[in-house]
Homo-oligomer: A and B are copies of this chain.
Amino acid sequence: MTSDRDYAKLYKLSHHARILSGISSLLNWDQETYMPPGAASIRALQESTLAGIIHEQKSNKKFRSSLAKLIDIPTGTILAKDLSQEKQAALKQWRRDYIKDHALPKKFVTEFAKLSSHSVLAWREAKQTNSFSKFAPFLEKLIDMSRKKADLLGYQEHPYDALLDQYEPEMTTAQTSKIFARLKTDIGVLLKKISSSKQIDDSFLHGSFSHDKQMEFSHLILKDMGYTSEHGRLDLSSHPFSSASHPTDSRITTRIHPTSVMSCISVILHEAGHALYEMGLPQEHYGSPLGDSISLGMHESQSRWWETRIGQSKPFWQHYLPLLKKQFKGKFDHIDLATFYRAINKVEPSLIRVDADEVTYPLHVILRFELELALIEGTLNVKNIPEAWNAKMKALLGIEPTSYANGCLQDIHWSMGAFGYFPTYTLGNIYAAQLFAAFEKKHPDWESRVAAGDLPFITQWLHEAVHRHGRRYTSQEILEHATGKAAAAAPYIAYLQGKYKQIYNYT
């Protein structure tokens, strides 16, 4: 009983800070959607002011002593053993956050933030003027500081573990390396088979598609998925994203390519996957770790699930192709389901990660992961990045960048100091494939249901398997509960092999 009272006290403090971080999400959403451009400075000040209050509230004596009453912070031993398992799990996550939040001295955090914000500007300039040397000195400092960050955060085997752990808790460099090595080999083989097969013509996916009709079709799909306007909304922004301040306020954005019909559809499936995860988090735990999503990889598993596993599946288009034909009259009159399905799954090595297909995308991520590892280990110098990048592109994808902009300067992430982030994209695919295998077992008739336009049973399954747990279990535990196995490359590879063998019809 005493422990429950102490838990309630801790929860109240944490809940208060969580409300503020929800407000911060809204500010960020507004910044990317409707904010007048001239308000950028005051918005930055609003964001940093809120961040300061949140940090103070999660670091002050009251918070620490509330936490320390229930769990021994240095060792992680639960002191309040009478608490439910659920609450004990929450305590472990609170402790984890507390330690991470306090591992970095304030001076270090400020310096890193300052360096990043200058680096983003330098990166933009370097990309525009195709001059790697303008960005190199910043990147050098960022890597130095990231190594220092790893030391401060602490790790067992590899400094990269500490960086990866920021985005994908409990995942290790060794485990990721193992998964990625397998992917690299098997996708390499797959890609060769695809390359030597007859290529696909997807030209009919390009043309002129009205903005309003694209938006209308997006709303139709979102509604069918169970992404309700009661708790969500769709807006436009230059880079699509999802942003939730609470399970009852989980928004997404898209952008419209007037000449590509699939661009916006992929985006809304992807972002709604993220948004449904946030909507499905248990409201009653909002403010405790039990009310938060577990990791970026698991988040990406939800978005990629909808984007690729559902949105690039044949049954999905069995239902939606007739609707698409109706929506864009005259555009797809002579296109049958098989042709459409092949076109949206066309594989073609390309230079830009964000434009990559399902098969080649992991290779872009693996390239970045390998370079990051080498940079952190010190076996690669910043000045040699362009050369290393191009060599890896050649080896993995058989093509080479024609500029820094479509080569090593294409992504913003490094300039933001986000080392350890890229792997979560591919871990998301891995998790999704594993979860999907379990889903297929539970719903062997999923294809006929999806072909009939039924989608909510999918959201329901994901809710049971993932959403409702918040951070009660780690990503790995969630996978093990759902599938009986730890994260592994096999299900994803099996999926790719099965699907693309059928599409490209190789032997």
Interface residues of A (CB under 8 A from B): 16, 19-20, 22-23, 26-27, 30, 34-39, 41-43, 45-46, 49-50, 53, 228-233, 235, 245-246, 248-249, 251, 286
Contacts and interface: CB of A to CB of B under 8 A. Distances in A.
A49 B20 contact: yes
Contacts of A42: 19, 22, 245-246, 248-249, 286
B235 A39 contact: no
Contacts of A49: 16, 19-20, 23
Nearest to A24: B23
Contacts of A232: 36
30 contacts: A16-B49, A19-B42, A19-B45, A19-B46, A19-B49, A20-B50, A23-B23, A26-B27, A30-B30, A34-B34, A34-B233, A34-B235, A35-B249, A36-B230, A36-B231, A36-B232, A36-B233, A36-B249, A36-B251, A37-B230, A38-B228, A38-B231, A38-B248, A38-B249, A39-B231, A39-B245, A39-B246, A39-B248, A42-B248, A46-B245
Could you say which of A23, A41, A45, A46 has the most chain B C-beta atoms within 10 Å of its C-beta? Answer: A23
Given A20-B50, A23-B23, A23-B49, 4 more contacts: A26-B30, A26-B46, A36-B232, A38-B231
Could you say which of A16, A50, A246 has the most chain B C-beta atoms within 10 Å of its C-beta? Answer: A246
A114 to B, nearest CB: 20
B46 A22 contact: yes
A37 B229 CA distance: 8
A50 B23 contact: yes
Contacts of A45: 19
A23 B249 CA distance: 17
A281 B36 CA distance: 17
Contacts of A19: 42, 45-46, 49
A41 B233 CA distance: 17
Contact of A23 (B27, B36, B245, B248): B27
A39 to B, nearest CB: 4
The DSSP consensus for interface residues of chain A is helix
Q: Which 6 A-B pairs have the closest CB atoms?
A: A39-B249, A38-B230, A42-B246, A38-B231, A39-B248, A38-B248
A338 to B, nearest CB: 39
B36 A229 contact: yes
A53 B49 CA distance: 12
A23 B46 contact: yes
Contacts of A248: 36, 38-39, 41-42
A46 to B, nearest CB: 5
A246 B23 CA distance: 17
A255 B23 CA distance: 27
Contacts of A27: 23, 26
Could you say which of A229, A233, A245 has the most chain B C-beta atoms within 10 Å of its C-beta? Answer: A245
Nearest to A247: B42
Contacts of A30: 26, 30
Nearest to A235: B34
A13 to B, nearest CB: 12
A284 to B, nearest CB: 13
Contacts of A229: 36
Nearest to A43: B249
Nearest to A229: B36
A1 to B, nearest CB: 27
Contacts of A286: 42
A215 to B, nearest CB: 15
Contacts of A43: 249
Nearest to A40: B248
Contacts of A35: 249
A23 to B, nearest CB: 5
Contacts of A53: 53
Nearest to A49: B19
A27 B249 CA distance: 13
Contacts of A231: 36, 38-39
Contacts of A37: 230
Nearest to A231: B38
A50 B22 CA distance: 12
Nearest to A232: B36
